[in-house]
Structure 1
Amino acid sequence: MKAALARASSIAVVMSPAIGDTLLTMVLVNNLVRNGHRPVVFSWVVSDLAEWFPEVDVRHERTCRDTFDLVIELRATPFGTSLVSPEGRHCELVRLDAFRTRRHMIDMFLAAARDGFGLARITRENGIAMPHHVRFRVNERRVAIHPTGSHIEKIWPQRKFVALAKKLVQRGYEPTFLVAPAERDAWQHDHEASRSLRSFDRLADVAAWIAESGWFIGNDSGLGHLALALGVPTLTLFMRRGIALTWQPKWGRGAIVLPRNLVVGVLKERYWTVALSARRVLHSFEQLTRGDPHGSHKNTLTTFADPT
């Protein structure tokens, strides 16, 4: 891809619709920009967060009439391949050597930037920046909780999230549940949860709510990556250690919590929610909160042990 990048006078990066995949792929986009390239990004996520990515040229798929010398995608899509000019090249990132080794996704994108595209000035950051009107962690006791997700098998039960929220209230925190507008009905019937529900139509408003919160807790999902990219200390619930090694949010002061080893193999994916208690998650959160109350931007990831 080095030669294709050197010859390209126009570059398009087509993003996955997933929030997490997009924020991770923005590491490559940020490195392209840092090295003098001006890629055009096609993404609803980046479009919604345009003010948070001020140096990125972002467009909507439905308005595109151009073709490009180089089109980059994490995984190929019909729209991405349709953007390639007659003499252009298409790059499916998962086919590069950088994505064939088991490591964290950020490290894969860095290896692709350095070895696949030959970029000299590389960084782990994805280029997100808070607008001036957002007050970073102004609500120090507020815990933004994302209790849902796009993959049902990764979601911790609602009743356990509610139990966790009650324990947080007892310790002087202000938990709030962040759910999509379409998910509100599933949470409104729970009296305890309904009092703390927040929904926003735009991802930019979700980002602002998270950025102004003191802490973030969530399932393995894209909002955990968003929270940690913004510098908000984050605790993420994972079903398996192997998945966490590749997908855990890893831009700042974050930690993961895993279920107890009561089951193994495929049974863990089926019963991990049973093996992960609200008490265990609370213990992990309390360990995360120790130290500097205003957080840290060091790239540290911790797995907390069982509170026994």
Structure 2
Amino acid sequence: MKLRTDSSIAVVLPSPIGDSLIGLVLVDNLIRNGYRPVVFGWVAEQLADWFPHVTVGQRAAWQGAFDTVLELRPTDYASTLSRSGKTICLATLPEYGGSKHMVDRIVDIATNVLGLADVTRSNGLVVPSDVMRGRFANRVVIHPTGSHPEKMWSRKKFIALSRVLVRRQLQPSFLVAPSELDVRGEIAKEGCEVHALPKLSEVAAWIAESSWFIGNDSGLGHLASCIGVPTLSLFMRQGLARSWRPGWGPGAVVLAPSFLPFGGLRERLWQRLLTVRRVMSAFHKLHGKHARATHHFAAAETNSATRIGMLPGAQSRRF
């Protein structure tokens, strides 16, 4: 399915943060290969300054404007952007399935379906110049919530983990969504630092200026990873971790012990079986690798700023 470089292309991102960041891998590869897609989705809108080479569109202004519309999963409006009313849904392609990491599935689609020659796992995120990466050397961002309750570790255990971090001379900083007022109040009542930032760009800046990230299987873990902040992710099962673990910067996954014989039982009990000590041990190992991993990621980020596909002097564009 070779796309013409002179054709108009839209990429419609799904609503979840992690899925959108993974979808931007496809966008970055299209740009690297000479295409100029217009991207739709709230994540791209709020992180426009973090993706300076991406053109972000407002759907009301682009009705029926595109020769080709790509969407990762079915949405309720992608077809309205297409001249023909048809879209190409990546989730229906064989390359989207399987057991590979989700980023590698997008890479396979870019290479084997769209026929792109210059393909990378990067999504093109660039930390804005006014954000000081790693400014707070001891700050550990903790994200105790997520979109699916069954994937969330106990809030009380997150609070207990934060106390251990304080004893290690680190500064835990909880991040929750503005809508999660009950969570914010419960954490604050325990004397912990907690923030509910209204914009995703503000969340990204807070994470970027921190030095560590610990959280559930959720979108903010992916955001921390592609910023390059060492990320520890708590997963309910190995299969999910294999496909959905944050896959860009330095990071690690921690799971409950696997001594139970049945997978379903492990899934129901993983929050109880995963202890603060086990999470802290995984964080300690990640901490020990930090200096080498940070050096490697910084070098890769420097190279990405001048890679093929970055528009010279590009700035965020919103239409």
Tell me, yes or no, if the aligned pair for 2:14 and 2:41 is still in contact at 8 Å: yes
CA distance in 1, matches of 2:16, 2:205: 19
Stretches of structure 2 lacking an aligned partner (at least 5 in a row):
298-319
Distance 1:145 1:105 in 2: 24
1:233 aligns to 2:257 (yes or no): no
Do 1:8 and 1:69's aligned partners in 2 also have CA atoms closer than 8 Å? Answer: no
Q: Who is 1:279 aligned against?
A: 277
Any conservation in 1 of the 2:254–2:282 contact (CA below 8 Å)? yes
3-state secondary structure, aligned to 1:236:
strand
Deviations 1:229-252 (A, max 9, x none): 011000000010011000000112
Choose which of 38, 54, 57 in structure 2 pairs with 1:56.
54
SS of the equivalent of 2:146 reads: coil
Tell me by how many angstroms 1:90 deviates: 1.7
1:104 aligns with 2:88: no
Instruction: Report Cα offsets for 1:82-128 as digits up to 9, x if no partner.
Output: 22113x75211012231132200111000000011000011110000
Q: Gaps (5+ residues) in structure 1?
A: 300-308
Counterpart in the other structure of 1:206: 203
8 Å CA contact 2:9, 2:37 repeated in 1: yes
Tell me, yes or no, if structure 1 residue 114 matches structure 2 residue 128: no
> Whole-Å Cα distance in 1 between the matches of residues 136 and 252 of structure 2?
20
**Pick from 45, 48, 52: which aligns with 2:43?**
45
CA distance in structure 1 between the aligned counterparts of 2:292 and 2:171, rounded to whole angstroms? 16
Matched AA of 1:125: S
- Which deviates more from structure 2 when the two are superposed, residues 257-266 or residues 149-158? 257-266
1:232/1:295 contact within 8 Å kept: no
| 1:78-93 matches, cutoff 5 A | 78-86=76-84, 89-93=86-90
Query: For residues 182 and 165 of structure 2, what CA distance do their matches in structure 1 show?
Result: 24
Whole-angstrom distance in 2 between the partners of 1:282 and 1:60 = 43
Pairing 1:224-263 to 2, within 5 Å after superposition: 224-263=221-260
- TM-score calculated relative to the size of structure 2: 0.88
Task: Answer yes or no: is 1:147 the counterpart of 2:123.
Answer: no
- Secondary structure at 1:128 match in 2: coil
Aligned CA-pair RMSD: 1.7
Distance 1:7 1:293 in 2: 42
CA contact (8 A) 1:251 1:297 kept: no
Question: Which has a greater percent of strand?
Answer: 1
Segment of structure 1 superposing worse, 33-42 or 179-188: 179-188
Specify the alignment match of 2:154 in structure 1.
157
**Aligned residue number for residue 172 of structure 2:** 175
Asked whether 1:187 is paired with 2:195, we answer no
Which whole-Å deviations, capped at 9, do the CAs of 1:42-91 have from their partners, x for residues lacking one? 110010000000111112334433421000011122311222113x7521
